[in-house]
Each structure stands twice: as structure tokens, then as C-alpha cells.
């Protein structure tokens, strides 16, 4: 039997158990809950990236994606006239459109905030990435701005993304994974309830740059690919953190499959309990990396024992499930 046929067979078996599609929360108790996420960085959109993503999505069947979207495509000097159409074709029915923030200079200007482009979270200095379109600030450390300024970025971003006429959730991911206390306070003050920025700094160790992993280690100490949702205190209320288990930009397919295998093993040792796995890739590098995600998922779904434990959903729905689990858990 070919790998493709095996995958389809495993998936069909799992559909019977609601393992290959979205389920209501009452059906999700005791599952390996997988949320697939894509970060739109606000640099460039390309038909090639979208085609690569659609190809992988066809292979995965009806599984939702959570789109963490920077609004800075709308603040470039020259805005692609097909941008809204592009976004609307990428965000399928059942997907979640969530907020992603990189402090692009053009977004600062659109937000009536004085641009402070440095320090870079990649270099730790005022040396920032340059782009052909002339905008910069992609790698600006979000902590360069005050909570009040970050709130202006968030408000402007939401207004810009509303041009898509798609519903925007109250889920957030920070550029550079920099969910600092200031950023968490800003999102809390703007009504966001869920963050998904935490990541194991060791995932980024293979990058030549060492500034970002060190910065992430300080912000998210002790986070590992096995970390499970937790509550972060902020003034006015808590934010639910949905940590990232792996990003395909830094992890080959075998490593991604290993993360799911490990989650399945933890679920088997305590089958009544949900185990959450958040995976990610980026729009701007999708052509190079999204195939790894498809390969990893095909691999684990070809194994019926694992396939039947999997439930794919959005971050918003996974967070609702995690929140009710945390509320029900003994102190």
C-alpha cells in the first residue's frame, strides 16, 4: 500500500472518530489537539506561497488553519491591488484570522506613533533588516515601544485587517515570539484573551544569530515543545498562553512528527486528558518549508493509533478547551 493510500485509510478511520475534522468541544475531551498556524509577517505576499500552502492543505483534508496576520501589507507605500482578494482566498471557511504584530515603520506611521526602529531582535543593535519595498521595522524589538504605543499598533492593525471583511479573533502572536510583559499588557488592554508566542528558545539555536534565542530564553524560560497551556497574569485579567511546540522553519519533518508522537505518548499515559500541540510556519517562507508540515502530518496520520487520537482545530477553539480544562483542574 502506498503512503498516500495508507494516509487516506488512516484518515477515514479517524473521521469515524472525529479525528480528521473539527469537532465540538464536548467531543474533544482527551485528545491530542493540534492547531496549525501560519504567521503572515507583513513583508510580501506571493502567489507561489499561496499555491504551496493550498497544495499541502489539499493533502490534509478539512483541517482549519489559524492565520496570525500582520496588517503591514496594507501600510506599504505601494499596496498590491489584489491584496484583499489574496487574503480572502487564503483564509478558508472555518479558519481563524488572528493578530500578528511586527513593528514595521509604516505601521508605526499609520498608527501615529513615532517610529523607533531599533534595537533589532535579530542583531541586538540598530542594524535592522532592509527590504526592497523600502519599509523596515520587521525585526524591531516590540519592547522599544510603550504599552500605550503598542495599543495604538494593535488598534490600527485591527482596523486595517477589517478591510478583508473577515472576522478577526482575539488571539495574538508577537513578532519574534516576544510576548514580553509590556506586550501581554497591551493585548490584554485591547481585549485579546489568548496569546500564542511562547516557544522553546533552543528551537532557534540553529540560526546564526544568537540574539533572538537569548531574548526568547529570557522571556519564556522553561518552555519546551511539550509545554501545555497556562495562564499569564496581567493588570485587569489573565491571558491564556498557547505555547508553540514547533515551527517548520527550524524543524525538519521528522522532528515535527516526533513532537506529535511524543504528544501521543503523553496522551496514552493519561488518556482522559487533552494534550495540545501548536505548530507553525510562515507565509513568506512557505514555499521552502510548508511541505515539511504536510510530510510530517502524513507520516503520523498513516499510523492509525496516532491518527485516531488527533483532533485539528483553531487556536481559538483549542484555547477554549484548554481554559475549561484549567478551570476544572484541581488546585
- The residue ranges that bind Zn ion (CB under 5 A) are 39, 41, 175
- Indicate the helix (H) or strand (E) that contains 142: none
In the complex with Zn ion, which residue's Cβ is closer, 128 or 260? 128
Cα angle 40, 43, 48 (rounded to 5 degrees) comes to: 70
In the complex with Zn ion, which residue's Cβ is closer, 175 or 294? 175
Are the beta carbons of 281 and 293 closer than 8 angstroms?
yes
Task: Kindly tell me the number of DSSP H helices and DSSP E strands found in the chain.
Answer: 11, 10
In the complex with Zn ion, which residue's Cβ is closer, 39 or 308? 39
Shortest distance in whole angstroms from residue 170 CB to Zn ion:
18
Cα distance between residue 328 and residue 38, in whole Å: 30
In the complex with Zn ion, which residue's Cβ is closer, 264 or 282? 282
Shortest distance in whole angstroms from residue 31 CB to Zn ion:
28
Cα distance between residue 114 and residue 330, in whole Å: 47
In the complex with Zn ion, which residue's Cβ is closer, 105 or 264? 105
Shortest distance in whole angstroms from residue 200 CB to Zn ion:
17
Are the beta carbons of 164 and 45 closer than 8 angstroms?
no
Spatial CA neighbour of 113 closest among 150, 162, 167: 150
Pairing of strands 32-40, 275-282: parallel
C-alpha radius of gyration, the chain, whole number: 19
Shortest distance in whole angstroms from residue 211 CB to Zn ion:
16
Cα angle 39, 205, 97 (rounded to 5 degrees) comes to: 10
C-alpha cell at 286: 512557505
Shortest distance in whole angstroms from residue 261 CB to Zn ion:
27
In the complex with Zn ion, which residue's Cβ is closer, 39 or 316? 39
Shortest distance in whole angstroms from residue 174 CB to Zn ion:
8
Shortest distance in whole angstroms from residue 58 CB to Zn ion:
25
Shortest distance in whole angstroms from residue 249 CB to Zn ion:
10
Are the beta carbons of 300 and 291 closer than 8 angstroms?
no
**What count of other Cβ atoms lies within 10 Å of the Cβ of residue 136?**
19
In the complex with Zn ion, which residue's Cβ is closer, 37 or 111? 37
Cα distance between residue 186 and residue 189, in whole Å: 5
Are the beta carbons of 96 and 69 closer than 8 angstroms?
no
In the complex with Zn ion, which residue's Cβ is closer, 14 or 43? 43
Amino acid at each position: 500500500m502506498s503512503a498516500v493510500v495508507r494516509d487516506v485509510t488512516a484518515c477515514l478511520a479517524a473521521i469515524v472518530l472525529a479525528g480528521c475534522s473539527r469537532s465540538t468541544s464536548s467531543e474533544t475531551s482527551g485528545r491530542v489537539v493540534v492547531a496549525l498556524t501560519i504567521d503572515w509577517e507583513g513583508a510580501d505576499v506571493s502567489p507561489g506561497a499561496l499555491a504551496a500552502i493550498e497544495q499541502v492543505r489539499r493533502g490534509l483534508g478539512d483541517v482549519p488553519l489559524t492565520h496570525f496576520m500582520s496588517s503591514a501589507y496594507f501600510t506599504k507605500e505601494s499596496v498590491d491591488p489584489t491584496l484583499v482578494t489574496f487574503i480572502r482566498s487564503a483564509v478558508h471557511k472555518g479558519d481563524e484570522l488572528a493578530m500578528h504584530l511586527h513593528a514595521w515603520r509604516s505601521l508605526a506611521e499609520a498608527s501615529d506613533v513615532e517610529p523607533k526602529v531599533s534595537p533589532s531582535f535579530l542583531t541586538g543593535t540598530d542594524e535592522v533588516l532592509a527590504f526592497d519595498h523600502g519599509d523596515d521595522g520587521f525585526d524591531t524589538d516590540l519592547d522599544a515601544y510603550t504599552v500605550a504605543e503598542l495599543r495604538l499598533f494593535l488598534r490600527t492593525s485591527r482596523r486595517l485587517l477589517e478591510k478583508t471583511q473577515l472576522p478577526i479573533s482575539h488571539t495574538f502572536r508577537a513578532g519574534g515570539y516576544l510576548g514580553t510583559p509590556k506586550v501581554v499588557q497591551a493585548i490584554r488592554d485591547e481585549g485579546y484573551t489568548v496569546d500564542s508566542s511562547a516557544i522553546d528558545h533552543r528551537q532557534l539555536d540553529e540560526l546564526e544569530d544568537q540574539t533572538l534565542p537569548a531574548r526568547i530564553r529570557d522571556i519564556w524560560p522553561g518552555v519546551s515543545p511539550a509545554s501545555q497551556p497556562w495562564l499569564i497574569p496581567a493588570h485587569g485579567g489573565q491571558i491564556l498562553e498557547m505555547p508553540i511546540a514547533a515551527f517548520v522553519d527550524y524543524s525538519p519533518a521528522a522532528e515535527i512528527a516526533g513532537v506529535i508522537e511524543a504528544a501521543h505518548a503523553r496522551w496514552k499515559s493519561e488518556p482522559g486528558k487533552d494534550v495540545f500541540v501548536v505548530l507553525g510556519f510562515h507565509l513568506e517562507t512557505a514555499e521552502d518549508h510548508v511541505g515539511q508540515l504536510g510530510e510530517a502530518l502524513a507520516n503520523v496520520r498513516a499510523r492509525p493509533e496516532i491518527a485516531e487520537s488527533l483532533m485539528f482545530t483553531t487556536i481559538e477553539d483549542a484555547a477554549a478547551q484548554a481554559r475549561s480544562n484549567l478551570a476544572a483542574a484541581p488546585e
